[in-house]
Structure 1
Amino acid sequence: MNDSEPPTPRRRSTTRRVGFVLGIALLCAAAVYLIADPSELRAFSDRIAHAPAWAIVLVLIGPLLNWVFVSQCLWALNRRHGEIARTEMLALVGSAWLLNHLPMRPGLVGRIGYHAKVNRIRVRDAVEASVWSLVHAIIANLIGLGLALLLSPEIGIARLALILSSPLAAMLLLSVLAETKSDQLGLMMRALMWRYADLLVWMLRYAAAFAMLGVQITPVQIALITAVSQAAQVIPITGGGLGFREWGVGLAATMSKGTAAIDMRTAVGADVINRIAETIIVIPLGLICTTIVTRRFKTAMDTRREEQASMGPVLPEGEAVRHAQEEHQGGHPGEQ
């Protein structure tokens, strides 16, 4: 096979399986790295045991907020192409969230297939919506990082929250104004608003995870770590950035400048804390959502088959023409 030939489905499948194995290996390496030093592990465990309550709450509810906000972003983007309920998208994203941790990212493929079969949204339109979701994530990260670069490392929490959340109000206003001109444009702006809200939750989750380890990070560090984390999660060969995200966050944290230096073990540990929280949430939530999606898909297919059956058998084109002619002749016997 020439190098210029496009990769076959088998080669792509092999690449993704290898990537999945590599991601698992990197995740295991991160776990080994954290427990390799018994004294560091004891200190790590002690800090978590005495972590502030607000940080623990944010780490645990953060994944649920991400699920809601990403679902609403994708709902707005797909709503431009067909009818879909908000709760339906919540179930789809919850199911895909779990399934995307498997090789080949079956959650993404399954969601697009569901849109085509149930919502009658063309595959290319569903893919386009997913691409726009990625574009919105990039824009949101650029806005967040740009604002963080303008802020002082010593800024207060209340002022930091106000400044970082201010784009949400602007995006909401722009979406309302856009809807007066075009529903499509309004939905695009609302999708960006939800994506930015998702980014803010990720920033809160990382600030909380580091706080659980006794580390206070600056706005720039939060924004940079979050951007690297989100970039790792879109790597197509592994779901959720398994393994890649942990080490990416570690490198980003150690390379960034703040009021205090962050060592690699602490940074990797902070992301592992978030990974554990996600796992606690995604397994039961994903299983429930998958059950809901499966039932809804089966009901939709049964309804469609009943509709097709009530319309009678579909005849081949030539036979359908002859049948129509015979019906016409039989109804007017005196015209021959």
Structure 2
Amino acid sequence: MMRRTLFSLFRSSSSSSSSSSPFSTTSKVNIFDRQLKRNQRDRAAWLMPQNDPLLHTVADNLLDRLQDVKKTFPSALCLGGSLQAITRSLRTRDAIQKLIVMDASYDMVQRCQNDYHASNNPDNTETMFVVGDEEFLPIKENSVDLVISCLGLHWTNDLPGAMIQSMLALKPDGLFLAAILGGETLKELRIACTVAQMEREGGISPRISPLAQVRDAGNLLTRAGFNLPGVDVDEYTVKYESALELIEHLRAMGETNALSQMNTMLKRDTALATAAIYDSMFASEDGTVPATFQVIYMTGWKEHSSQQKPKRRGSATVSFKDIQTQFGNQS
């Protein structure tokens, strides 16, 4: 019964891309190797700890935005990223009646499904687990009330296109919630790696993926067609025993580099130099090394007649000059 209910949310094969691959994309520039990223997430599915403080903090902060909204969201789509943290938090919220959990990694979807069935907190939420790619969203238009992506969309080659597809999947007055890593993420590691490469190799090559800047987030929401866009930023500092422990954490999260043009072999002496420079430049008094994770939170609504709209241009009844005069007299 559950399968029959949710199947109508998915696009039929006749409406999909003409490409035979389910992971095809219309992006002309492939910054990231999507197959490599799927492989990394397959590995992360079994390396990721049951309770990762960073991932759960970001997931909880993202879902806290639902508390500021009075309406309910009976059907929700959860895309990639921190799937386990998001689905666990969602199970404590009674408003969600139907949930689709989707990831490009089969192993990640399987891990989430296993966790769901092993949960000691059974609920009445109809849940479907789907293998699919954010770059080609297999969801019918106007079919879900809520789309959530927690730390996943920053790996797409066509971020505006992925957000447009999310907007189309939403019903009118549906809500889009997303958290992506921002450009200040791992700034310490970027500096240490650059210095090490200059010293050992006489030049630099990209080792850490490019990430969106805060100033771009609002434009992305507007370009995707969302109304009432909202953007805010948090920075989290995580302390590690060493730079190598940081790398292991990134690997367990599935957040290691996936650049298409990346030189895959990092020389051993360069890697050791990076760790040494990281420690010498950023180590704290207690011997730990910090790593910065900048998270950009984005919210946007699909257009609906009930939403607030800006007044017609030229309809103002008070001029800025009058306002300035009034407040100037009060001072």
TM bucket normalised to smaller: under 0.3
Q: Which has the higher contact order (CA 8 A, sep 6+)?
A: 1
TM-score by length of 1: 0.24
Q: Could you say which structure has the higher helix fraction?
A: 1
Larger radius of gyration: 1
